[in-house]
Amino acid sequence: MINDHEIIPQAIAKPRSFVGLMTLYESNFIKLHNLLPDLRNIEKDRVLESLNAENLYLTILGNTKYTITFSLTYSFKHNNKINYEPNLTIRAYYDGDLAEVISIGDIHGRNQFREIVNQNNEIISKLWKKNIIFNKWLDYLLDNNYS
């Protein structure tokens, strides 16, 4: 297993900088690969289970030779309505070993994670926030032994 602390940055990676963002994308990919070792071969939706937490739903949105785009979310029932949180849309780049969050939450309706992200409109800051959320969530998923 590869760990993200083994990443050796080519420059000092400051938070909310381009170099920092690329380092975060690399860390996301490493953790994602640890969660989904067969990432390059995933062809259909799946449910990841943990003894310690809710089921995690992976939905394939697109798959090419160099990328895969998918959503990761939990499903919660509240007042007879199903809510999907955090409902991250992720794109992984096989050729660069990078993974980034494309969006958080459904476009229609309220999403707590998206509200946190949208507090600052600066592009690097916005991307940084979304990907920090994903990075920390991947830590949680790996700690809970999803498979």
DSSP 3-state assignment of 104? Answer: strand
Which structural domain range is residue 18 located in? 4-143
HSE-up (13 A, CA, CB side) for residue 55:
9
Tallying the residues shown for the chain, one arrives at 147
Please tell me the total count of domains within the chain: 1
Per residue of the chain (147 residues), give pLDDT as tens: 666 655 555 555 677 777 788 889 999 999 999 999 999 999 999 999 999 888 999 999 999 999 999 999 988 877 888 888 888 999 999 999 999 999 987 644 555 555 654 554 467 777 888 888 898 899 899 999 988
How far, in Å, CA of 104 to CA of 88, rounded?
A: 5
How far, in Å, CA of 133 to CA of 40, rounded?
A: 23
Count of CB atoms situated within 10 Å of the CB of 21: 22
Look up residue 110 and give its amino acid. R
